[in-house]
A and B are shown apart, each in its own frame.
Chain A
Amino acid sequence: MVTMRDVRRRLDAEEVDYAEAAELGPDALPHLAELAAGADTMLASKAVYLASVIGGDGSAAIVSAAAGRGDPVLRVAAAAALRNLAVDDFERVGETLLDDEDPGVRKVAIGSVAAADSPALTARVRRAAEEDPEDYVRDTAARLLPPTQ
């Protein structure tokens, strides 16, 4: 039985050890969902990322919800979490985040896509390397996934 207190004990740390925190397992996901929807952005972003590391049923929904939140810090957390999702969820949430209005979110999402194996999203990143309006996002995309000739 994982309690909210158990979850907070891991996530309140200044520097969260996500590998260790993931040992809480899927029983932590309801608590993480609650924290991810909360008003404390720092705690919510940690909860989103930890949910992705734990994985399993419900984790993708937490990441997906964060990808639609108004605070870009939460969407950055979702973009970072992307790399830990299963392929279907990865592509669905990734589509959204690669189109995010915030260039920081797009940069982090590109990093996640580059770390995964998804032909569909890889093509999107290659396009970003040429077409993204932000220089540093194009540079990140080009560095991680150079455009094909």
Chain B
Amino acid sequence: MNGDFTGDGRAEIPITSPWGLGVLELTGGTLTSPVMAANGTRFGGWLLNTADNRFEVQADLDGDGRQEILVSSPWGIGVLKRDGATFTSILMAPNGTRFGGWLLNTADNRFGPVGDFDGDGRAEVLITSPWGIGILKLTGGTFSVLMMAPNGTRFGGWLLNTADNRFGPVGDFGGGGRDELLVTSPWGLGVVELSGGTLTAPVMAPNGTRFGGWLLNTADNHFANVGDFDGDGRPEVMVTSPWGIGILARAGSTLAPKMMAPNGTRFGGWLLNTADNRFGPVADFDGDGRPEILVASPWGVGMLELSGGTLTAPVMAPNGTRFGGWLLNTEDNRFDMVGDLDRDGKAEIVVTSPWGIGVLKQTGATCTALTLAANGTRLGGWLLHTGANHVGIGTEVIRVHVKVLTDPTVPIDRMLTAMQQVYEAVGIRVHRVSTERLTAPALDDLDIGRCVRGETTAEQNALFGNRVGVAPGDVVVYFVRSTVPPTNGCAAHPPGRPSAVVAQGATQWTLAHEVGHVLGLGHVADSNRLMTGGGTANITNPPPDLIPMEVIEMKDSTLTHAE
């Protein structure tokens, strides 16, 4: 179960801040903090420092029915296990450690997704690097390697290349009792599974393949949420695109849609529009044994569930609705985590806003708030401040819309692949939501003034006004011929319109760099990092890095969210 560190059947809420790490749990009608640890605390040998610790994944790695946290730092990695009012480390390894043949280096190793790839009831960790891929299994106090392979390896027909392969989501799509890994690349899609000491690819499909009616195009298809939506005992994967939504199930060596619908479809009262609908997380909110999909839009929120060949919307609520005392406003509400916090067999939603935190529970056609707390409240000992607290552990997503006035010299697809390579290495998936060609020649050589944060020109304001159908929390990147004065790009944008421009002569990393600014990052004097102030053309060891403090800032941005 998501976030169950004690094995009592209830999910707990991991929470971090510049002060330290806590775990919140719902007790009675309030949140308490059974674990609180300030930075500097030793969890066994692990030195807690939320400024540079990255809480990568949570999963039951040792099969005891309790989840552990895999944490990384510039020093190495640890696996933390809750032990009463604290954590202890059941594994610690510095960089340079060999796990079997895998050389640990947290500077360029990516951890996750996790899954039970060998079907033994315990989760393993996928690990990738610029060298290749491996699957790590907790064995005693260390990791063993179930498989590892360098780039260039063929898994059946699938050509491994961690520079452009995107791994996840994970699920037992084939019903064989072992999790499989969905992988996409600019070529197409594969489903790979562990077989002996290697991977095989029972499903491979190039872009242009039709899965039933669904047209595969990994450039704009977003595969995210997995669940057994139809209750047949095998999970399906949800996919969205600029066209609409589908739920795909594995069918032998291909995928087949359980449902698909174009934008404009009404699911009950919910109007599908993938340009501004945010899907996920998914969980069984009503306790019927099948997960529902939480969906948010500029209008409000809904819960969607599969019913026959379509979706229905058992819950719909416009912004302004009160869920008990919680005032719904999708413009600033973050649905950070879902889990069964009260052990009633139904998942609840942990929601945060600039006001505070709430736990929402589906009740019939609406939700109620099991608990609410304003910032400044002490949750047990934890001082709530949602502006500086980060709730939950795991992958987040940033939604990017592309609007093209002039095509850049480096193709946009390549820039996005480069951005995905950098962002997804630190657990932030990049979802290209839409692509639009704009005819606005007056803005194609864009006056950007001094290009400083919070200061925009009339031309920038006019250009960034082109965001019809874009959700407030989505980022729009405009590709222009040039800027005045000349730059590779500029991320200055007006309040409420997170945007950036990229000029025709930009590098493959400029897009990722500018979006980094939009997420709040500043320049650094290190040519090995994405946010180098010395120009991304001079990056010395590609792909460029994002350091833990930057990742924390990015994940704390309202522009990234759980899925």
Chain A positions within 8 Å of B, measured between CB atoms, are 9, 11-16, 18, 40-42, 45-46, 48-49, 72-73, 76-77, 80, 103-105, 107-108, 111, 134, 136, 139-140
Contacts and interface: CB of A to CB of B under 8 A. Distances in A.
A42 B442 contact: no
B484 A80 contact: yes
Contact of B534 (A9, A40, A77, A108): A9
B262 interface: no
Interface stretch (B192-200, B303-311, B312-320, B505-513): B505-513
28 contacts: A9-B534, A13-B535, A14-B514, A14-B533, A14-B535, A15-B489, A16-B485, A16-B487, A41-B504, A41-B505, A42-B488, A42-B505, A42-B506, A46-B485, A48-B486, A73-B481, A73-B504, A76-B481, A76-B482, A104-B445, A107-B442, A107-B445, A108-B447, A108-B484, A134-B441, A136-B441, A136-B442, A139-B442
B485 A18 contact: yes
A45 B533 contact: no
Given A14-B514, A140-B442, A46 B534 contact: no
A23 to B, nearest CB: 16
Contacts of B487: 14-16, 46
B151 interface: no
Nearest to B458: A143
3 closest cross-chain pairs (CB), A and B: A12-B535, A42-B505, A136-B442
A50 to B, nearest CB: 9
Interface string B462-501: 0000000000000000000110111111100000000000
Contacts of A80: 484-486
B503 interface: yes
Which bucket holds chain B's interface residue count? 20 to 34
A144 to B, nearest CB: 11
Given A136-B441, A136-B442, A16 B533 contact: no
B236 interface: no
Nearest to B486: A45
A73 B488 CA distance: 12
B481 A14 contact: no
A140 B533 CA distance: 34
B484 A76 contact: yes
Contact of A15 (B482, B484, B490, B538): B490
Contacts of B506: 42
A45 B505 CA distance: 10
B537 interface: yes
A13 B445 contact: no
Contacts of B485: 16, 18, 46, 49, 77, 80
A42 B505 CA distance: 5
B536 interface: yes
Contacts of A73: 481-482, 504-505
Contacts of A42: 486, 488, 503, 505-506
A104 B484 CA distance: 11
B228 interface: no
A76 B445 contact: yes
